[in-house]
Chains A and B, each alone.
Chain A
Amino acid sequence: MNKLLKIIRHFFHEAVIFLIPLKLRKSIMPSCQQVSEMLEKENLSVSNSIKLKMHLFICQCCTDYKAQIETISKKAKSLEYLNLTQKQKAKILNSKKDIINNLNKRS
């Protein structure tokens, strides 16, 4: 399935390059660099959103780039898990007491 999609994408990519002159292509299609920046923007305008989808439809590089970024973001969420040991919890409590004691000494 993935292979088939790649072939279709390649076919459309070649068709666009063959049929649309470079000047026109540049005005209607963002470059790969612009697409990589667009992927990070939270509020894309409707026209930019369409341009982004058009580019992704024919560009395997950007499709893989997007998939890489999404995988990193998704996997990064699982790094948040923070399970403190009893020793660490006691350490937090002690350090809080130390700071309050130092405060008492200051005043």
Chain B
Amino acid sequence: MNLSSPVFLKKLRERDHNALEHLINSYHDALYHGALKQKLAPDQAEEVVQETWSTFFEKVENFEGRSHIRTYLFGILYNKIKELWRSNKKYTQDDDFENTNIFDSQGNFTQAPIDPSDWSQSQEFLKVLEEELEKLPSNQKMVFILKEIQGEKSEDICNILEISNTNLGVLIYRAKANLRKRIERRFKYE
């Protein structure tokens, strides 16, 4: 069954049982893996995937097929994950940190970045990276994971998250600059 065909999409909109079941069988595992790759615990992954399907069932009648069904489903999933991050105290964001500027009015570094040659050899580095990634604002964290960890193409990320290419560039830049600064602080004072 072709998941992009107009016939299949029509069946979905009519809530055809077989079509919906086929869709679940096709994408459930991928959604679950997608949630786990965003560093959710298995229970949380299960919860967001179930919520994703519930939202999809509610909205399926309005699905016009402008984007691929996979893009549409992952769009819902990532929105659910962002909602979870925002509501979860564990992911409280350190906004003050983000706002401290690393450049002066002339565009020069206010503090020289340290030489990172020790980072590659440090066994702690991956742990620190993972911990600091958790603390990033949800949008930055999501695009960083999608682009840098999962290696998704920029075009696909823009479609799934419904953001422009410029916006994606800004988010990636901020995510990396934030991570860099946070990691540097950890290595400086530990």
Q: Does chain A have a CB within 8 A of B80?
A: no
Contacts of B177 in A (CB 8 A): 36
Which listed segment binds A: B3-11, B18-26, B67-75? Answer: B18-26
A71-B46 CB under 8 A given contacts A76-B144, A92-B32 = no
Which listed segment binds A: B83-91, B92-100, B123-131? Answer: B123-131
Q: Does chain A have a CB within 8 A of B63?
A: no
A71-106 vs B: 1/0 string, CB under 8 Å? 111011111101010001001100110111001101
The CA of A88 and the CA of B49, in the complex, are separated in Å by 14
A107-B15 CB under 8 A given contacts A33-B103, A76-B144 = yes
**Closest chain A residue to B169 by CB distance?**
A40
**Closest chain A residue to B174 by CB distance?**
A40
Contacts of A37 in B (CB 8 A): 173
A67-B115 CB under 8 A given contacts A72-B129, A75-B126, A91-B46 = yes
Question: CB distance A71 to B107 under 8 Å?
Answer: no
Q: In whole Å, how far is B13's beta carbon from the nearest beta carbon of chain A?
A: 15
Please tell me which one of the listed residues B133, B149, B176 contacts residue A77 in the complex, with CB atoms under 8 A apart.
Answer: B149
**Closest chain A residue to B128 by CB distance?**
A75
Question: CB distance A76 to B148 under 8 Å?
Answer: yes
Question: CB distance B154 to A42 under 8 Å?
Answer: yes
Q: In whole Å, how far is B157's beta carbon from the nearest beta carbon of chain A?
A: 13
Q: Does chain A have a CB within 8 A of B66?
A: no
Question: CB distance B180 to A69 under 8 Å?
Answer: yes
B98-123 vs A: 1/0 string, CB under 8 Å? 00000100111100111111011000
